[in-house]
Amino acid sequence: MATTPSEEPRERRVVHDEDDGFDDFLSEGEEESTLRAQEMDALARKMKSVGLREAIEWGKEATLQQGFDEGFAHGARDVFHLSLLRGALSVAQLSGFGASALSDDERAALQRCVAALRQRSQRVRADGDDDQALEAEARQWLRRLEVSLPLEHDLSSSRQQADDETQ
Taking the chain (167 residues) in runs of 10, the rounded mean pLDDT of each run is 54 53 63 87 90 90 88 86 88 78 86 89 72 88 84 54 56
Distance CA 99, CA 93 (A): 6
Please, which residues have CB within 8 angstroms of residue 85's CB and are 6 or more apart in sequence?
117, 135, 138, 139, 142, 149
pLDDT of residue 39: 92
- Determine the angle formed by the axes of helices 28-95 and 131-144, rounding to 10 degrees: 30
pTM (global) more than 0.75: no
Q: How far is CA 12 from CA 1, 5, 6, 8, 15, in A?
A: 17, 10, 11, 7, 10
Distance CA 12, CA 9 (A): 6
DSSP 99: G
Distance CA 78, CA 88 (A): 16
